[in-house]
Chains A and B, each alone.
Chain A
Amino acid sequence: MRSPRTGRLSNDSANWDARWQRDRLTRGLQRRSLWDVLDEVKFGYLRPIIPRSGGSALEVGCGSARLLGMLARLGWKTTGIDFARSALDLAQDRFRAEALDSAWVRSDCRRLPFADGSYDLVTSTGLLEHFGDPTPVVSEMLRVLRSGGVFYSDIVPRKFSLLRALDRGGNGPGNNEIYERRFSRRSIETFVSSFTVLREVRVFPAGVFPPRQLFSKRIAFLHQNEYGINRAFAKVGARLDGSWVADWLGFYYFVSARKV
């Protein structure tokens, strides 16, 4: 919902609800896209640090729960949380289509309705940057994580990236106000390390992908082959992850740590 005065997108649940509803109507789950490639790459990083035998996983701000689906396919017991009802509807569609099972909770992520230490893995993808002050969210995520469990989050700060280079107006103030925070690699490290309960904190820049605008419906060939083209691109692009090039052109930061 654009505010009539500033033309900016607001960050409330009604706005997110509308976004996910639009996604549900227009995108559908059948067509694989750039976002699937992205999560496959992410999952490639995540997989070596999580227990092979599975366990229980919580995704906070799960959206359409693509990553959670990958975990569920490996036999993880999953829970998805979002404060937008239509996001949970979309996530449920995804799980139902694959006959997977998960718990869905509509809740504020600053107060999670779970007991201390009840999950082996707590994740969020592209969530923390939407908070001016993400401290309460991380504090709650870590509270419900069991000791020895894995914390994983990726953060999409307000910065230049190849992926968003062609977006109208860029990813800055005036266009996408939902990205509340600028984060640098260093500020993420400082912030995450301040949670003294975390060890093995790892932060690296990632996500060098071609501009997403290229794959809009305007150019039919690119639109139809969005998944394949990006998968091919990722073979090169993902090699840059962790380097200064990814810090410059990539669009997110990969953050992982383990609770003491």
Chain B
Amino acid sequence: MNVSGRTSSVSAYDAPYYLKREASPTLLAEIAAVADLLDPEPGDQILEVGCGGGALLSRLIAHGSCHVVGVDWLRTSVNLARRRNSRARLLQGDACALPFPDGRFDKVVAQHLIEHFDDTKRVLTEWHRVLKPKGVLVIVTPNIDYPHPEWFEDPTHRHIFSEADLRDHLNGAGFSVDETRIINPYVGSLSFQFAAARYLQFLRRLPWFGHRGMSLVASASRI
């Protein structure tokens, strides 16, 4: 992973960015999908890689009785997430070299992180390592078929995945894919996208709208 190359371009990931992003219904729909696939249960050890401002962590903590750990590459994100989630354990670290022993977690979640790596295989292998056998990995990433890729354009993005692509990568890294979903269906115009995220999620089940959805969500178990 090219560590030194990313420092300049990620400087925009600050508190205002995260707070603004959290108000977006598309992100909240993603959180709902993640919570559904992750299904936090009492006693679960959950790791969020790339926790950003800690929006998902707060929602997981609200479930109660599970232990939540967040890791992010950026000091600013870790500090923000820590300020907002006094219950979570938060660490600054590299998603490709996590400071945890093998088989430490029941569940690992990475929201909009996997697209930032040159070597997808390497990062998936690392997440595979920290998961217990039969542990669940949930990934959210932009969908390549979304008609407005400029919407999520980011200089630190390395790979944008299609559904099949992501399945292949997961299978190749020793996971068995349980489910993939494309959520936040495309409704023909960017301006309707937020309203659609709230009221038109059902469109994701229809072929044309569904394939062009904004976010790709996958859940896989460690074999």
A interface list, Cβ under 8 A from B: 110-111, 116-117, 133, 135-136, 138-140, 142-145, 147, 187, 190, 193-197
Q: Does B32 contact A (CB under 8 A)?
A: yes
Give the complex CA separation of A225 and B63 in angstroms: 46
Within 8 A of A (CB), among B18-76: 19, 22-23, 25, 28, 31-32, 35-36, 55, 58-59, 61-65
Give the complex CA separation of A139 and B61 in angstroms: 6
* Inter-chain contact A139/B58, CB cutoff 8 Å: yes
Give the complex CA separation of A195 and B40 in angstroms: 13
Give the complex CA separation of A117 and B64 in angstroms: 7
Residue among B25, B58, B86, B87 facing the most chain A CB atoms (10 A cut-off): B58
**Chain A residues touching B, majority SS:** mixed
Which residues of the other chain, B, contact A140 by a CB distance below 8 angstroms? Answer: 61, 87
* Inter-chain contact B28/A144, CB cutoff 8 Å: no
Which residues of the other chain, B, contact A145 by a CB distance below 8 angstroms? Answer: 64
Closest to A186 in B: B198
Q: Does B148 contact A (CB under 8 A)?
A: no
Give the complex CA separation of A193 and B199 in angstroms: 13
* Inter-chain contact A110/B86, CB cutoff 8 Å: yes
Interface residues on B, range: 20 to 34
Give the complex CA separation of A135 and B56 in angstroms: 10
A143-B87, A196-B31 known; A116-B64 Cβ under 8 A: yes
* Inter-chain contact A117/B65, CB cutoff 8 Å: yes
Which residues of the other chain, A, contact B63 by a CB distance below 8 angstroms? Answer: 142-143, 196-197
Which residues of the other chain, B, contact A143 by a CB distance below 8 angstroms? Answer: 61-64, 87
* Inter-chain contact B28/A194, CB cutoff 8 Å: yes
Give the complex CA separation of A143 and B59 in angstroms: 9
* Inter-chain contact B65/A196, CB cutoff 8 Å: no
27 contacts between A and B (CB under 8 A): A110-B84, A111-B87, A117-B64, A135-B22, A135-B84, A136-B58, A138-B62, A139-B58, A139-B62, A139-B87, A140-B61, A140-B87, A143-B61, A143-B62, A144-B64, A187-B23, A190-B23, A190-B198, A193-B32, A194-B28, A194-B32, A195-B62, A196-B32, A196-B35, A197-B35, A197-B59, A197-B62
Which residues of the other chain, A, contact B19 by a CB distance below 8 angstroms? Answer: 133
Closest 7 A-B residue pairs measured CB to CB? A196-B35, A142-B62, A116-B64, A139-B58, A194-B28, A111-B86, A116-B65
Give the complex CA separation of A110 and B61 in angstroms: 12
Closest to B24 in A: A190
Contact among A116, A138, A139, A193 with B28 in the assembled complex (CB-CB below 8 Å): A193
Q: Does B85 contact A (CB under 8 A)?
A: yes
Which residues of the other chain, B, contact A136 by a CB distance below 8 angstroms? Answer: 58, 83-86
B20 to chain A, nearest CB (A): 12
Which residues of the other chain, B, contact A187 by a CB distance below 8 angstroms? Answer: 23
